[in-house]
């Protein structure tokens, strides 16, 4: 049985034995979405997904993180949550707060900080094993709600998630049939971005990888801010959007109905301009 089949089985089994996941998956069909377009070449879907408040509203300052039990450490996970071993050092888990179809969280066994540099190869290996999926990464200050425990995520491909560079936000694209070449080019880009943000533990970024016709594709979205100004506003001015890899690619998650109803294309342009790092 290949990994895709094993994951499908895991989802079926987990929905039978884990009520939280069963409810979440059944509610996914009721998730509302609307689409904005910029010409023929760029689309953004806005999704209303109230269950994601757990991530969008997450406090990720070091004091809060130190105090809470890490929800990605095996000992703290819900007893019903089962996983599939990957590369003998990760567990592939069903995400109980899905944004995309077959949303997976893939924590490393050990509790080590969210840093992608030496793990890009693992990410590409997973993308290779799962041709119908995108595998994505949120940096510690770029959307990860567990910045203290290394994890990847994955979910079924959809056209908005595969979009490359656009005037609204930066996307650096690496593509090759040769995995090592992708890793080397990623390292070059990493070093360049590190030079732009030497004060960060790692340059702020989101990464999406996937394969298409046996080619590895890596989309790197450099970031300059974690959350836009509107996140911290009050009353009618507030827009509770906390962008991660999916949002920056083109699937923006809103957790409050009022935000879903009022968001306009100029808000989307403004949010991208605030969090995306222009790179020449
Ligand atoms: Zn942990």
Write down the mean pLDDT value for the chain.
95
Distance 151 CA to ligand 1 centre (A): 9
Which pLDDT score is estimated for 197?
Answer: 97
Distance 260 CA to ligand 1 centre (A): 32
Q: Is residue 124 part of a domain?
A: yes
Q: Is residue 60 part of a domain?
A: yes
Reported as a pLDDT band with limits 50, 70 and 90, residue 196 is very high
pLDDT in tens, 212-222: 999 999 999 99
The CA-CA-CA angle for residues 157, 85, 26, to 5°, reads: 45
pLDDT in tens, 53-86: 877 777 878 888 888 899 999 999 999 999 999 9
Distance 73 CA to ligand 1 centre (A): 4
- CATH number of the domain to which 213 belongs: 3.30.428.70
Q: How many Å apart are CA 222 and CA 190, to the nearest integer?
A: 10
Stretch 142-163: mean pLDDT: 96
Distance 113 CA to ligand 1 centre (A): 9
Distance, CA of 271 to chain centre: 17
Q: Is residue 280 part of a domain?
A: no
Distance 140 CA to ligand 1 centre (A): 14
Which pLDDT score is estimated for 28?
Answer: 82
- Helices 19-28 and 3-17: crossing angle in degrees, nearest 10, is 110
Stretch 109-137: mean pLDDT: 97
pLDDT at 280 exceeding the cut of 80: no
Reported as a pLDDT band with limits 50, 70 and 90, residue 27 is confident
Distance 270 CA to ligand 1 centre (A): 34
pLDDT at 191 exceeding the cut of 80: yes
Q: How many Å apart are CA 156 and CA 134, to the nearest integer?
A: 6
Q: Is residue 129 part of a domain?
A: yes
Nearest-CA neighbor of 231 among 244, 217, 222? 244
Stretch 221-237: mean pLDDT: 96
Stretch 103-113: mean pLDDT: 97
Which pLDDT score is estimated for 26?
Answer: 86
Distance 111 CA to ligand 1 centre (A): 4
Distance 44 CA to ligand 1 centre (A): 33
Q: Which residues contact 218 (CB under 8 A, 6 or more apart)?
A: 120, 124, 173, 174, 175, 182, 185, 186, 207, 208, 209
Range of the domain at 49: 3-275
Which pLDDT score is estimated for 212?
Answer: 97
Stretch 154-163: mean pLDDT: 97
Distance 74 CA to ligand 1 centre (A): 8
E strand or H helix at 137: strand 133-138
* Beta pairing class for 83-86 and 90-94: antiparallel
Distance 154 CA to ligand 1 centre (A): 19
Q: How many Å apart are CA 130 and CA 90, to the nearest integer?
A: 15
Q: Of the ranges 65-74, 99-108, 148-157, 181-190, which one carries the lowest mean pLDDT score?
A: 65-74
64 class by beta-carbon count within 10 Å (0-12 exposed, 13-18 middle, 19+ buried): exposed
Q: How many Å apart are CA 12 and CA 98, to the nearest integer?
A: 15
Distance 71 CA to ligand 1 centre (A): 6
Contact, 94 vs 104, CB < 8 A? yes
DSSP codes, 30-61: T-EEEEEEETTTEEEEEEE-GGGHHHHT---S
Total number of domains in the chain? 1
Distance 186 CA to ligand 1 centre (A): 26
Which pLDDT score is estimated for 59?
Answer: 80
Distance, CA of 162 to chain centre: 13
Proportion of the chain above pLDDT 70, given as a percent: 100
């Amino acid at each position: 049985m290949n990994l895709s089949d094993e994951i499908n089985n895991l989802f079926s089994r987990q929905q039978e034995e884990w009520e939280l996941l069963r409810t979440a998956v059944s509610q996914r069909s009721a998730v509302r979405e609307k689409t904005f377009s910029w010409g023929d070449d760029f689309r953004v879907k806005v999704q209303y997904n109230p269950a994601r408040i757990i991530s969008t509203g997450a406090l990720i300052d070091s004091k809060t993180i130190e105090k809470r039990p890490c929800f990605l450490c095996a000992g703290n996970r819900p007893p019903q949550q089962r996983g599939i071993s990957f590369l003998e050092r990760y567990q592939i888990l069903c995400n109980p707060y899905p944004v995309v179809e077959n949303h997976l969280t893939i924590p490393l066994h050990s509790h080590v900080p969210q840093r992608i540099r030496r793990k890009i190869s693992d990410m590409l290996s997973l993308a290779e094993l799962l041709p119908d999926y995108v595998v994505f990464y949120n940096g510690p200050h770029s959307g990860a709600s567990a910045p203290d425990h290394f994890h990847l995520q994955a979910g079924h491909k959809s056209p908005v998630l595969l979009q490359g560079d656009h005037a609204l936000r930066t996307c650096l694209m690496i593509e090759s049939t040769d995995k090592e070449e992708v890793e080397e080019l990623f390292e070059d880009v990493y070093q360049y971005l590190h030079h732009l943000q030497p004060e960060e533990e790692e340059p702020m970024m989101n990464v999406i990888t996937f394969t298409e016709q046996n080619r590895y594709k890596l989309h790197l979205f450099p970031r300059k801010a974690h959350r836009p100004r509107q996140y911290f506003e009050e009353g009618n001015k507030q827009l509770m959007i906390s962008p991660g890899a999916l949002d920056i690619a083109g699937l923006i998650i809103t957790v409050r109905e009022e935000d879903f109803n009022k968001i306009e294309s100029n808000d989307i342009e403004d949010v991208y301009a605030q969090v995306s790092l222009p790179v020449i």
